[in-house]
Structure 1
Amino acid sequence: MTSRTYLKPPWMQRNIGNRLAPVFGRSVVSRLSVRGRRSGQWRTVPVAVLEYEGERYLVSYRGLSDWALNLRAAPDCRLTVRGRTEEITTQEVPESERPALMAAYRKKYGGMPTVSDVLTALPDPADHPVFRIRARD
């Protein structure tokens, strides 16, 4: 088994912050619901959607998270933005395209709690799975 580059969020963020983020940060924080790669059960996590050059992206800023692994296994998912849920599919962005996206993510969301620190600790764009969002047909 290979190790993965991932910075696990602290207990407070996982158990308190992630639950409150969609309530207090509705203009920034969306909810991603993706099927678990082993269980098939829906898992929901808070995410910040990056809009860049007319496209939307999901950035796993902490590295190879469970939700990123789940999207790799099952790219069809749901995204709830400002109370509106849409069925989407995702496509992972090649590593060569990630530097500009990570720079845009840092510029837009670097002021959010923990984001800048995590991106400084994991500076290589290759460590951050990025997924292009598409409407599901």
Structure 2
Amino acid sequence: MSTATPHVQKPGWITVNVVNRAMAFLTRRGLSIRGSRVMAVRGRKTGEWRTTPVNPLTVGAERYLVAARGHVQWTHNMRVAGGGELHLGKKTEEFTAIEVADDDKVPVLRAYITLWKAELGAFFQGVTPDSSDEELRRIAPDHPVFRITTKAA
């Protein structure tokens, strides 16, 4: 069993207090920026709803949530809750989530880094959209990925 600390890149003050709050504010009012949503997931200890702005990614016919910053609070909560809600304005989508195995993350991580390299590329340890599959597999354990399925209304 590994005793290594999971990879986490904590957001800076500007991200937490300006960027995330601005994104959440706009998304709550129905303005999606590049697919943004406010995700709500139940806390693993309290059971209370926790929210964070996210950008679901579509690859083929599947949708994913990628944790660019690593094993953060929402990823721990998602593992326990198994799903949550995505909010855009007054629209709410309930979803279930299944964590993707490290070996299956390569195409998802490549698509995510391609789309978000300018904003989030620094969190992927020098891996770019042009990196080899082996390089993407190397960073896969540091970036949780969840396949999400919207529940039927």
Deviation at 1:96, TM superposition (A): 0.5
Alignment of 1:118-133 (within 5 A): 118-120=123-125, 124-133=139-148
Distance 1:125 1:2, change over 3 A: closer
**% of aligned pairs identical?**
33
Q: What residue in structure 1 maps to residue 114 of structure 2?
A: 107
Q: Matched residue of 1:133: which SS?
A: strand
Asked if 1:26 is matched to 2:45, the reply is no
Q: So what's the TM-score if we normalise by structure 2?
A: 0.80
Deviations 1:90-123 (CA, angstroms, capped at 9, x unpaired): 00001101111111001112222xx011123686
- Kindly indicate whether the alpha-carbon contact (under 8 Å) linking 1:95 and 1:126 is maintained by their aligned counterparts in 2: yes
Amino acid at match of 1:56: R
Larger radius of gyration: 2
Query: How far apart are residue 83 of structure 1 and its match?
Result: 4.7
Structure 1 residues 27, 12: closer, same or farther in 2, change over 3 A?
closer
2:78 partner letter: L
Task: Judging by fraction of residues, say which structure has more strand.
Answer: 1
Mark the runs of 5 or more structure 2 residues left unpaired by the alignment: 128-135
- By how many angstroms is 1:18 displaced? 0.5
TM-score, with length taken from structure 1: 0.89
Q: What residue in structure 2 maps to residue 72 of structure 1?
A: 79
Aligned to 2:133: none
Over aligned residues, Cα RMSD in angstroms?
A: 2.0
